[in-house]
Amino acid sequence: MAIVIERIQPEDIERLWVHVEPLIRAGCNAVTTENTAEFVKAEALVNRRTLWVVFDTDDPFPFLAACATGERLTNRGRVVFFDVIGGRNRGCWLTQFVAEIEAQAKAKGVVSIELEGRRGWRRVLPGYREVRTVMEKKL
C-alpha cells in the first residue's frame, strides 16, 4: 500500500468530481456547517478553496479521502484552514496527509493551521490545541 496525497488542479475538478463529491458531502453532513458539496466545488473552481485527495496506488478508486482547505489573512499572518474532510480508513493516511498540508503551508509562509471539528480530532492530531469553543443550543 502506497498512499498518495494530491492537490486537484481546478481544470481537473469537473472530471474527478464524481469521485470527490461523495467524500466531501459526507464530511459536510457529519457536522453542523454552512458548507455543502456544491459550495465547496464552486469555491474550488475559482481558487477560493483547494481540493485534496488521498488514495492508495494499488487501488486508487474510490479515493480514501477528500478534503477542502482554504486560506485567510489574520492579524497574526496567513492561516490555512481545513474546511471539510471526509474519508475512510483514516488510520492509514491521516498522519501523512496532515504532515503534507503542514509542510506545504509552511513553505508558503503560513503561520498556522486551523480546523473546526468534534473534540475527538484532538486525540488523533498531536500538536494541535483547542483555541476556542463553539457552543450550540438546540431549539
Domains of the chain: 3-124 (3.40.630.30)
- Assessment of whether the complete model's pTM goes beyond 0.85: yes
The 10s digit of each residue's pLDDT in 72-107 is 999 999 999 999 999 999 999 999 999 999 999 999
Burial grade of 76 (CB within 10 A; 0-12, 13-18, 19 or more): exposed
User: Cα–Cα distance between 20 and 14 in angstroms, integer?
Assistant: 10
The 10s digit of each residue's pLDDT in 12-58 is 999 999 999 999 999 999 888 889 999 999 999 999 999 999 999 99
